[in-house]
Structure 1
Amino acid sequence: MRIAKFCILVIILIFGFALQSEVTNYELWNYSSAYYRNSEYTYENEEERLELIEDIYNGCEKYNVECFSECYKDIDGINVDYTVFYKSDKTKEELLKKNRVTEHRYISLLSGNVDVEFKGFLEQKSENYKYIYDVSFIGNDDDIDKLYAFLSENHSISYPAITNGSERDVIYSVWSIIVFICILMTCMEIIYNKKEYIVRISLGESVKRIILYNIIINMIISWLLFFAIRAAVFSVLYGEFMRTQICILYGIGVGLSCLCYLSYGIYDIKKAFSNVNDTKVILRTTYVIKVAVTAITIFTLVTNLSILLKDAASLSNAKMIENLKGYSYIRLNELGHDIENNSLDEYINAIYKKIYKEFYEESAPIICEHALIDEDNNVNYLKVNENGKCFIDKYLDLTEIDDKSDVAVFVPKDKIDAIDFDEVEYIVDELGIGTTDTKIQYIYYKGNISVPYIDQRIDLENVMNPVVILQNRMDIEKYNEELFSSDYREIMFNLSEAQIDEIKKKYEIDTKGLELIQVDVNESYTYHNNFIRKLIAFCSSLCFFSIILQMVLIILIVRMEYKLHAMELAVKKILGFGLTERNKFLICFGVITNLIVMILVMIIGNFLVKISLPLCLLIGISVIFLELLVTFINLIIIEKNSVSKILKGGCL
C-alpha cells in the first residue's frame, strides 16, 4: 500500500509543479497590477514623456517609494522579451521575493518562453521604449498617495490602483488537494497495515518503535520525492511562483500524515485475532481508486502517445531544414503604432504583400501552409508556391506535372469524391494567381504519406494524405496582389541584412511604431526540437508512472482479496476450482470496468481533444491484457505461497 501511495504522490507532484510553472509564466503578464498599485499615463510629445520619467524617478526618491515599468516584445509568437525598468536594487529584491521575477528564461509547456531582463528605470527614456504607458509603485500607501499628488500636478496620470487579480488562489487550491490526497492515502495505508502491526505488537514489538519507524520513513520519502520531482520538472521548465508557500503547505501535509501514524497506538488485540476484518472497507475504496486510475492511465497514454507520435514525426524534417540555410521568418510586431486612416492589421498585411512581390526573385519566399481542413470529410488542403517544392518532392512525384500547367493539384485517390473544387479554386486565388486562363492539372496519388508544412507555432507540422495545391510556376507580371492571401508568419524569406534595412527604410517600420524581427529558420527549428525532446521526456515519465501505479493497485487488490476471502479461496482450490473460476469476480470486474472506461475515454476524449480512436482502442486493449497478465502472475504467486498458511492459520 505504501508503494501505491508514493506512486500516486509522484504523479500529483509532477502535475503540481508543472502547474506552478504555468502560473508563474502567466503571472509575468499580470503581477505588476495584481500585487502593486499601478498607474497609467499619457503625454503629448517626446519632451513631455522624458520629463514625466524624470519626475517619476525623482518623486520616488523624494517620497521613499520604489517603482518599476515593463516592456514586452513578442519575438515569434513563442518567445517574448520582457524588460523590467527598476529604480533600485531594493525593487529587484522585492520582485524576486514576492513574485520570483529575476533575470532568467522562464520556460513553459503551454504558454511559450519569456526572457526577463532588468534595466535601470531611466533607460526607458530611449526612443525604443516610447510606447510604455504605465508604472507600478512599491511602498507605503500614504507615501504613494503623496507621490501621486506630486505627479498629477503637471502630468496626466491615473490614480495608483490594483486592477488585476492574482493566481494565488489557484496554487493554494491545487496544493491543498495534493495535501488532502497525501493524508487520505496515508489513512488507507494505516487501515491496510494495522492488523499486521497489532499482531507484531502482541508478539512483543514496541509500539513506539513502530510509530517512530513509519513517521521517519514517511517523512524522508515524502520530502525526497518532493525535492527530486521539483528538480526534475524545473530542469525542463522554469518558474517557481509561491515557492515558499508551497513548501510550507506541503510540509503541513507531510506533518499531518505523520500524525496519522499515532493511531497505531490505539489497538484492540482481541479484534485483530478475530475474524473481524477492516480490509473490506479499504478494498472497496481501492476498487474505486483503481477505476479512476485506469481512466487516467488510458487517457494519459492516449494523449501523450499522440503527442509523441506527432512530435517525433516533426523531428524527421531536420535534413530538409538544414538545406534552408539563410532563410528566416519575418515578424512585424506592434510597439504602439502611429498609423492613421487604416487599421494596424491591414497596414501590416499590405507591407507583407509588397515585400512578397518586390523581393520575390531575390528572396525566393517559400509557402507551404495548411490552407483548409474539411472536418466533415476529413480532408486537409495544403497551399504550396513554386519555391515550396522542396517540402513535397520527397512524398509526391513532381515529374507527373505538365510543364504547361500553372497549378498542380495532388489528390489522394480515396478522397476523390470528397474534394470541394470550389475550395480548390479559392485557394489557387490566394496564391495570387487567379483562376482566369489558369491551367489546373489534377494528379491522383495512392498510399499513406505524411507531408510537412510550415506552422508558425512549432515551425513544422505533418499531415496525412493531404490535397496539395502546388503553384507550378510564378509569373510575377500576372501576380495579383489583391488576391494574394497568406499567414505571413508562415512564409520563409531568404533576405540579407541590406534588404532588411531597405524594407525598414522604405516602409518606415521604425517610425510607424512597428518592429521588424528576423527569426532564423534553422535556429527556430533547433529550439523547437530541443523543446520537443523535453516534452517527450516529460510525457514519457507521466506514462511510466501511470502504468506503474496501475500495476501496483492491481497487486494490492489481489492481496486484499486474499486477505478478505482467504479461507474461501483456499477451500475452492482444494475442491478443484480452476484459477479463473476461483477469482471470477476479480477478473470480470477488471475486464468490464476497463472496457467501460475505454469507451468513455474514447467518447469524452473525442469531443475534448480529438484523440485517435484506433490508438485509444489499441491502448485500452493493451492495458486490459497487461492487467490480466499481472493479475494471473500475482494470483499464482500468492496461491503457491499462501494457501497452506491460510488453512493452518485461519484469518492470520
Structure 2
Amino acid sequence: MKRIKILIFIVLLSVGFLFNGELYMLYLDNFQESCYQANFYTDIPTKKVSDDQIIQDFVQTGEKHDVDFFVVDQNIHSAYETETTIYGTKGALQHLASMGIKEGKHQSLFFGEAGVHCEAFKDVRDVTKFDTYYFVGDESKYGDIRSFKADLVDQYSGGFPKLEGSERETWLNLLSVWGLIFGLMLMVTLYSILYYKKETMVRIILGESLIRMFVRNAFADTACFSLLFLLLPQFLQPFSNVKFRISFVILLFVTFLAINVLLNALILRIDYKKDIAGGHDGRGLLRASYLLKIVTTVLVTLILAGNVVIIRDAYNLYRQKDFFEAHKDYSYYHTEYKLDNHLGKSDDDNTAMNHQFYQRFQNKALIYADLTGNLGETYPVILNNRKAIKEVKRQCQPIEQAISSATEDQIYVLIPSFISKKSQEYEYAKEMAGLYFDQNEYGEAKIITYNGDITLTAIHRYNEYETVQYENPIILFNNTIFRMNKDLTGYHWYYTFDTMYDISTQEWESFIREFQLEDQIISKSNVLDVYNHSWDMASRNMRMLLVLSIILLFLEMALIMFIIRLEYQFNAVEMALKKIHGYTLLNRNRRILKTTVFSSLVGILTALILSNILKMPGGVPLVLAGLLLLFLELAYILWRAKKIEKRTISSILKGERI
C-alpha cells in the first residue's frame, strides 16, 4: 500500500507540474491584460516627430510621475512557436519578472516553444507600431497613471487608462488543480490508515509504541513527499516551465503536509474491540471524499465555464473565415486630428473630415457595424449600408424577399418574423432606429419582418477590432445616399472605425494631403490581416484550454474512481446482496449517483454565485459546463462501477478482503 501511495503521489505531482507549464504558455499570451492600459497614437508618417523624441517624451513623463510602463510585441510564427518581445522601464521589467515573465525560451509538452525577450524601452525599435501601453501598479497608482496620460494626451491622443482583465482565472486554475491533487493525496492517506488498522493493533499487542508509530509514519510521509516535491520539478523542467507560480504551489504543499500529519494522528484513536476484529468504518472517509467532490465540482465548473466561453468565441471566429477572405481587398481606415494640433482643428473639424471621407468613398464602403449592447439590451443589432445590403441579399434569400420593394432615401428596420410586435426586442429595434437616424432628417424608419434563418458577421472596434457572427439579428438598413448636410450625431464614429473600404493607395494619399493629415493620427489595416491575427491568437488559446480542461477532467475522474473504490471497500456486503437480489446497476450505485447529481447541482449554483462575485463568465456557458461535467461523471461512474463489480463481487461473496 505504501508503494502504491508513493506511486500515486508521483503521478499526481507530475500531472500538477506539467499543468503549471501548459498554464504558463496560456498566461504568456495574455499576461498584459491584468495591467492598466491606454492607447497612444504615435504613427506619424512624415516623421516630423522622430522615434527618439517619442521615446524621450514617454520616459521623461514616466520619471516625472513615477510611473513604470511597457509595450508588448507578440509574434506567432506557427502553432508551436511564438515570440514575445517586451520593451519597458526598469521597474516594469522587474515587476514582470516577479509575475513570472522572464527572459529566455520556454518549452511546453503540447504547444512547442515560446521565446521571451525583455529590453529597455529606450532601445525600442519602430516605436510607432505600438498603440497600446501597459502600466505597472494597482488601484492606488491609478492617479499617477492618469496624470501620465494627461501629460501626453494632447500630443499622442488616445483614451484614458482602464483595466481590461485580471489574473483571477490563472489563480483559480492553480487552486483547482493543486487543490484536487492534494485533496486526493489526503484521501489516500486516510484510506491507508483505515487499511492498516488491524495491523496497527497487532503491533500494539506486540509492544510497539503508538506514539512512535505515529511519529515514524508522519516523518516518513513528510520526508518522502518533500523529496519528491523537490526532485520532480528538476526532472520535468527541461520539458516544461513547471515552476510557474511555484511560491503559491509551495504554500499549498506546506498546508497539505500539515493536514497530512494531522490525519496520521488518527492512528492514536483506538477502538480495541472493533479494530482487532478487522472492521473498517469508512463512513468518515466517504463523507470527506464527497465533500471534496462538491468543492472540486464548484471549481472545475467555474473553470470549464470560462473555457467554454473562449472556445465558443474561437469557433465563432473560425466561421467568419470565408467572409473575410471574400473581402481581402478591403481595409479599415482611421483618420483623426490630434487634440493639440498645429492646424487649429477642433472636434467639429474631425466630424466634418470623417463625414467627407465616407461621403466620398461610400460607393466603395461596406458597413457591417455591430451595435449590440446599446440601451442595455443583448439582442444582436447590425447596421448595414446600401453596398453591404446588396451582398446580404445575394447570400440571404429571406432578406432579398423582405426588401424587394424597398425605396431609396429610406431607413428600414429588418426584424426576424419570430419577434412579436409586443415583445421587448421589437421596441428595442424601434429605439435603435431613432437613436442612430434622427426622424427629422430621415423620416420615420419602416419596419419589415423577414422569414427564415440568416447569419451575418458584425464588426466593432474599441481598442482592437472585434468581429462576431450572429444568427437572425435585427438589421438597421440605411438605404440613403449620405450627404454632408445631415447630422448623424455620433453615427459617424461607426463608419469611421467599423467600416471596410476598397479604395486605391492614390485615393488614400490624396485625401491625406487634402485634409492635411500627414502628421495627424491615421492608419490603414487590411481586414484579412486583422482577422488572421485574431484567429491565430484565438485558435492557440482554444487548443491550450482544451488541454488544460482535459487535465482537470482527468483529476476529477481520478477522484470519482477513488470514491467508487471506497464504496465497494466499505459497503462490500451491501453491494453483493443488492447484486444477488437483482438490483439494477443504477440502484446498486444509487448513493454515489445521487450524491454526484446533488454535488453537481450545488456546484453549478455555487459557481453561478461566485461568477457574479468574481465577475467571471457565468449564465448559460456555466450551466452548460456544469451539465457537461455531470454527464461525463455519471457515464464514468456507471462504466467504472460495472468494471469493479466484475472484479470484486465474487471475492466479496467468498469473504475475501478486497
Corresponding residue number in structure 2 for 1:187 = 186
Corresponding residue number in structure 2 for 1:43 = none
State the TM-score, normalizing by the size of structure 1: 0.65
Pair 1:449-2:454 in alignment? yes
Q: Find the partner of 2:415 among 386, 411, 414.
A: 411
> How large is the Cα RMSD of the aligned pairs?
5.8
What whole-Å deviation, never above 9, does each CA across 1:507-539 have from its counterpart, x for those lacking one? 44455xx43222211111011111121122123
Corresponding residue number in structure 2 for 1:566 = 572
Moved more, 599-608 or 565-574: 599-608
Pair 1:423-2:426 in alignment? no
Instruction: Give the aligned length.
Output: 555
What whole-Å deviation, never above 9, does each CA across 1:594-619 have from its counterpart, x for those lacking one? 34444555677689667564x66666
Cα gap change, 1:11/1:279 in structure 2, threshold over 3 Å: closer, same or farther? farther
Corresponding residue number in structure 1 for 2:648 = 642
Corresponding residue number in structure 2 for 1:305 = 308
The alpha carbon displacement at 1:557 in A equals 0.9
Cα gap change, 1:256/1:576 in structure 2, threshold over 3 Å: closer, same or farther? same
What whole-Å deviation, never above 9, does each CA across 1:188-217 have from its counterpart, x for those lacking one? 3322334557889999xx999999887776
Corresponding residue number in structure 2 for 1:629 = 635
Q: Do 2:413 and 2:430's aligned partners in 1 also have CA atoms closer than 8 Å?
A: no
Partner SS, residue 419 of structure 2: helix
User: 2:430, 2:190 → 1: CA distance?
Assistant: 68
Corresponding residue number in structure 1 for 2:146 = none
Corresponding residue number in structure 2 for 1:592 = 598
Corresponding residue number in structure 2 for 1:143 = none
Pair 1:515-2:521 in alignment? yes
State the TM-score, normalizing by the size of structure 2: 0.64
User: 1:459, 1:610 → 2: CA distance?
Assistant: 18
- For structure 2, the residue ranges without an aligned partner over 5 or more in a row are 38-48, 75-83, 107-114, 137-165, 204-215
Cα gap change, 1:117/1:220 in structure 2, threshold over 3 Å: closer, same or farther? closer
Q: Do 1:408 and 1:472's aligned partners in 2 also have CA atoms closer than 8 Å?
A: yes
Corresponding residue number in structure 1 for 2:476 = 469
The alpha carbon displacement at 1:477 in A equals 7.0
Moved more, 368-377 or 401-410: 368-377
Give the AA of the match of 1:304: N
Cα gap change, 1:277/1:180 in structure 2, threshold over 3 Å: closer, same or farther? same
Give the AA of the match of 1:397: I
Q: Do 1:366 and 1:388's aligned partners in 2 also have CA atoms closer than 8 Å?
A: yes
Give the AA of the match of 1:305: V
Corresponding residue number in structure 1 for 2:369 = 369
Corresponding residue number in structure 2 for 1:325 = 328
Moved more, 514-523 or 470-479: 470-479
Q: Do 1:17 and 1:230's aligned partners in 2 also have CA atoms closer than 8 Å?
A: yes
Cα gap change, 1:6/1:486 in structure 2, threshold over 3 Å: closer, same or farther? same
Cα gap change, 1:213/1:247 in structure 2, threshold over 3 Å: closer, same or farther? closer
Q: Do 1:368 and 1:453's aligned partners in 2 also have CA atoms closer than 8 Å?
A: yes
Give the AA of the match of 2:24: F
Give the AA of the match of 2:459: I
User: 2:33, 2:593 → 1: CA distance?
Assistant: 46
- Equivalence map 1:249-264=2 (5 Å): 250=249
Corresponding residue number in structure 1 for 2:354 = 352
Cα gap change, 1:415/1:14 in structure 2, threshold over 3 Å: closer, same or farther? farther
The alpha carbon displacement at 1:434 in A equals 3.0
Pair 1:538-2:544 in alignment? yes
- Equivalence map 1:99-110=2 (5 Å): 100=101
User: 1:530, 1:23 → 2: CA distance?
Assistant: 14
Cα gap change, 1:72/1:620 in structure 2, threshold over 3 Å: closer, same or farther? closer
User: 2:490, 2:220 → 1: CA distance?
Assistant: 82
- For structure 1, the residue ranges without an aligned partner over 5 or more in a row are 31-45, 61-66, 106-113, 137-166, 232-242
Pair 1:434-2:441 in alignment? yes
What whole-Å deviation, never above 9, does each CA across 1:479-521 have from its counterpart, x for those lacking one? 556674333321223344444444444444455xx43222211
Cα gap change, 1:21/1:198 in structure 2, threshold over 3 Å: closer, same or farther? farther
User: 1:299, 1:358 → 2: CA distance?
Assistant: 50
Corresponding residue number in structure 1 for 2:318 = 315
The alpha carbon displacement at 1:385 in A equals 1.0
User: 2:373, 2:67 → 1: CA distance?
Assistant: 46
User: 2:655, 2:336 → 1: CA distance?
Assistant: 78
Corresponding residue number in structure 2 for 1:146 = none
Cα gap change, 1:449/1:567 in structure 2, threshold over 3 Å: closer, same or farther? same
Corresponding residue number in structure 2 for 1:153 = none
Q: Do 1:368 and 1:384's aligned partners in 2 also have CA atoms closer than 8 Å?
A: yes
Corresponding residue number in structure 2 for 1:149 = none
Cα gap change, 1:103/1:549 in structure 2, threshold over 3 Å: closer, same or farther? closer
The alpha carbon displacement at 1:288 in A equals 1.4
Corresponding residue number in structure 2 for 1:38 = none
The alpha carbon displacement at 1:444 in A equals 1.9
Partner SS, residue 486 of structure 1: helix
Partner SS, residue 415 of structure 1: coil
Q: Do 2:369 and 2:459's aligned partners in 1 also have CA atoms closer than 8 Å?
A: yes
User: 1:386, 1:636 → 2: CA distance?
Assistant: 64
- Equivalence map 1:578-589=2 (5 Å): 579-589=585-595
What whole-Å deviation, never above 9, does each CA across 1:30-55 have from its counterpart, x for those lacking one? 9xxxxxxxxxxxxxxx99x98x979x
User: 1:491, 1:313 → 2: CA distance?
Assistant: 20
Taking only the aligned residue pairs, the percentage that are identical comes to: 15
Q: Do 2:320 and 2:469's aligned partners in 1 also have CA atoms closer than 8 Å?
A: no
Partner SS, residue 592 of structure 1: helix
Partner SS, residue 371 of structure 2: strand
